[in-house]
Amino acid sequence: MRNRNTAPRKSRPPASGAGKARRRCLIGGGYARGEHTRRRLLEAGIELFGELGYERASTRAIAHRAGVSLPALQYYFGGKEGLHRACAQYITEDVRTRLAPATQRVREALDRRDLARSELLELLRAVVEPFLEGLATERPESWALFFARIQGEQGVALDAIFQQIGGRLLTLVMEIIGRVLGRPAESPEVAIRAVMIVGQITLVRRARPIILRALGWPDFDGERLTTLKEVMWQAIACSLSPAPGPARESV
Amino acid sequence: MRNRNTAPRKSRPPASGAGKARRRCLIGGGYARGEHTRRRLLEAGIELFGELGYERASTRAIAHRAGVSLPALQYYFGGKEGLHRACAQYITEDVRTRLAPATQRVREALDRRDLARSELLELLRAVVEPFLEGLATERPESWALFFARIQGEQGVALDAIFQQIGGRLLTLVMEIIGRVLGRPAESPEVAIRAVMIVGQITLVRRARPIILRALGWPDFDGERLTTLKEVMWQAIACSLSPAPGPARESV
DNA sequence: ACATATAAATATCAAGTGATAGAAAATTAT
DNA sequence: ATAATTTTCTATCACTTGATATTTATATGT
């Protein structure tokens, strides 16, 4: 958003800058070579945006890591912001499809009226645990880093990603918790608990250095990851115990 | 860290840039006027660093909000980084002294050998709730924002603040939880639970927009803040219930 | 082979960054 | 008052950023 006013933006060669830029090579005919650099830019963007955040990741650094020249970024994504949007969309799509089968399975199971507490908790675990594992371990794709960044940066990409991933996950968790607690899924009690449970999971990524330091661990590897998952799950399951402290609700 | 090599740094007029700059006016004699601008810069720095983060908060913007000229920042804090450090230290000191009495009180109570579960939970609440309240409500001092920022930015200030505040809080929480669970305070089970509980609290700040959206709330005000605190506390207390297995009974 | 559309690179721009030099103003000490 | 010191301001530097115009290379269709 630097010289937006001075530049008359006379031609704006190919890309529109929005998410679904780069359609020419499909319309126009072939030219499959460009798809490669586009992909490289996308991956480099995810890496560097994740490592450094939106501001500190310069377009030059991204282009360099992608092994392409600087104008290629503008050419394919219309600018830095466009690339960021495209990265967010790419990740969103990827995670969404990866989570889809589990989501579907859980949703079908939820349609059954007669679910025991333990069954509901098992469903919750099935939803939450893959998510935790993806965040705790350093994926080479590093989308978890990217994902964690945009939450702290309050950018426009937050809306899209939240609706696509966080929203779905949260809705699902709220339904399960609502069933467990015997309250409507939209009630504040259920919503707060759901947010806190999902938030706890994301903490594994966001407060990673602090957690590791508090535990005196070098990393979440193998045995330790198992311990982490187990303890966190114990705490979550306990927090949904039927009779909380002072007599409150009884289904 | 821009033109560090070109500038010979011949004189470096007064401030050393580190945390404890600005000592001259005490040694040299008077010149009390400078203390005011120094204070203004500190407050403006906390505000803008908190609102925008370290990168996006430009020294010009900070100086402007402080109502002083740009070189004053270099003059008093040696540079942007020095100001950031000073802000962190200022906040740390403030929070630490504010939390000190409660900490002391809890630590004394912990020395008693015979504490019932409910008493321990009450202690935990006494430690955790003021912290939550400080983070949930928009303080005019806005140090909560600043505090939340530096966690996401992984800067050098994180170490200092963590040791001064987070570490103390965490140590205290670990001791209480260790007592509740009947395990050593250093065990991974206790540490993970402590980190998650404290982390949940910080989530109220860090994931504020997401939480508010999930709840359909405009803000954490009055009645809603009470609900939030109550539900979160219920969840925390339940998660520390004595028998973590499937079947358990209330105390 | 040719014309044409596409892709990539070089060189450069305007704006904004943190930092500094050096002079001017204000304050204190003598 | 005058000298010394401390504080503040104007102007500017060196550098980085995102973005572009223009040119060169590459691939495609006829």
A173: nearest CA partner in chain B: B214
Share of chain A above pLDDT 70, in %: 77
Listed in sequence order, the residues at least 6 apart from A33 whose beta carbon sits closer than 8 Å to its beta carbon are: none
Strand C nucleotides, any atom under 7 Å to a protein CB = 5-22, 26-29
A139 touches strand C (CB under 7 A): no
Q: Does B239 touch chain A (CB under 8 A)?
A: yes
* DSSP tag of A133: H
Position B7 scores a pLDDT of 31
pLDDT at A187 over 80: yes
Contact B231 A195 (CB under 8 A): no
What's the rounded Cα separation, in Å, for the pair A141 and A46?
Answer: 8
Position A249 scores a pLDDT of 43
Report residues 33-92 of B contacting strand C, contact meaning Cβ closer than 7 Å: 33, 57-61, 70-71, 73-74, 78-81
What's the rounded Cα separation, in Å, for the pair B231 and B217?
Answer: 15
pLDDT at A251 over 90: no
B27 touches strand C (CB under 7 A): no
Q: Hey, which of A73-77, B15-19, B32-36 has the most confident mean pLDDT?
A: A73-77
Expressed in angstroms, the distance from the first to the final Cα of chain A is: 55
Q: How many angstroms away from the CA of B60 is the closest CA of chain A?
A: 16
Position B139 scores a pLDDT of 60
B6 touches strand D (CB under 7 A): yes
Across the range B77-81, mean pLDDT stands at 95
Structure-model confidence comparison of residues A9 and A69, the more confident one: A69
Position B71 scores a pLDDT of 95
List, for residues B25-78, the tens digit of each pLDDT value: 333 334 567 789 999 999 999 999 988 889 899 999 999 999 999 999 999 999
- Please name the nucleotide lying closest to A72, CA to C1': C8
CB A52, CB A146: distance < 8 Å: no
Q: How many angstroms away from the CA of B80 is the closest CA of chain A?
A: 16
Position A75 scores a pLDDT of 93
Helix (H, G, I), strand (E, B) or coil at A129: helix
Q: Does A221 touch chain B (CB under 8 A)?
A: no
Position B163 scores a pLDDT of 74
Out of B158, B203, B234, closest to residue A244 by CB: B234
pLDDT at A174 over 80: yes
pLDDT at A10 over 50: no
Position B32 scores a pLDDT of 63
A118 confidence band (pLDDT: 50, 70, 90): very high
Cα distances from B207 to residues A26, A164, B149, in angstroms, run 40, 17, 12
Position B147 scores a pLDDT of 76
- Please name the nucleotide lying closest to B1, CA to C1': C18
The residue whose CA lies nearest the C1' of nucleotide D16 is B2
Q: Does A238 touch chain B (CB under 8 A)?
A: yes
List, for residues B139-183, the tens digit of each pLDDT value: 655 677 787 777 767 666 667 777 777 788 889 999 999 999 999
Listed in sequence order, the residues at least 6 apart from B128 whose beta carbon sits closer than 8 Å to its beta carbon are: B173, B197, B198, B201, B236
The whole-number Å distance from B29's CA to C29's C1' is: 10
B196 confidence band (pLDDT: 50, 70, 90): very high
What's the rounded Cα separation, in Å, for the pair B120 and A125?
Answer: 29
Contact A189 B231 (CB under 8 A): yes
A36 touches strand D (CB under 7 A): no
Position B113 scores a pLDDT of 75
Across the range A184-192, mean pLDDT stands at 93
Which of B:184-213 have CB within 8 Å of A? 188-189, 191-196, 199-200, 202-203, 206-207, 209-211, 213
Position A139 scores a pLDDT of 60
Contact A237 B244 (CB under 8 A): yes
Check if CATH label 1.10.10.60 holds for domain B24-77: yes
pLDDT at A163 over 90: no
Tell me phi and psi for residue A249, to 5 degrees.
-115, 145
B102 confidence band (pLDDT: 50, 70, 90): confident
List, for residues B210-242, the tens digit of each pLDDT value: 888 889 999 888 899 999 999 999 999 999 986
CB A135, CB A156: distance < 8 Å: no
Helix (H, G, I), strand (E, B) or coil at A237: helix
**Domain extents in chain A:** 24-77, 87-239
Contact B194 A214 (CB under 8 A): yes
- State the CATH architecture for A87-239: Orthogonal Bundle (1.10)
The whole-number Å distance from A37's CA to C7's C1' is: 10
pLDDT at B9 over 80: no
Contact A214 B232 (CB under 8 A): no
Cα B23 to chain centroid distance, Å, stands at: 26
Share of chain A above pLDDT 90, in %: 40
- State the CATH architecture for B88-239: Orthogonal Bundle (1.10)
Structure-model confidence comparison of residues B215 and A11, the more confident one: B215
Which of A:128-167 have CB within 8 Å of B? 149, 151-154, 158, 162, 166
Position B243 scores a pLDDT of 54
Tell me phi and psi for residue A242, to 5 degrees.
-65, -40
Share of chain B above pLDDT 70, in %: 78
Is A87-239 in the same CATH topology as A24-77? Answer: no
Position A30 scores a pLDDT of 43
A84 confidence band (pLDDT: 50, 70, 90): very high
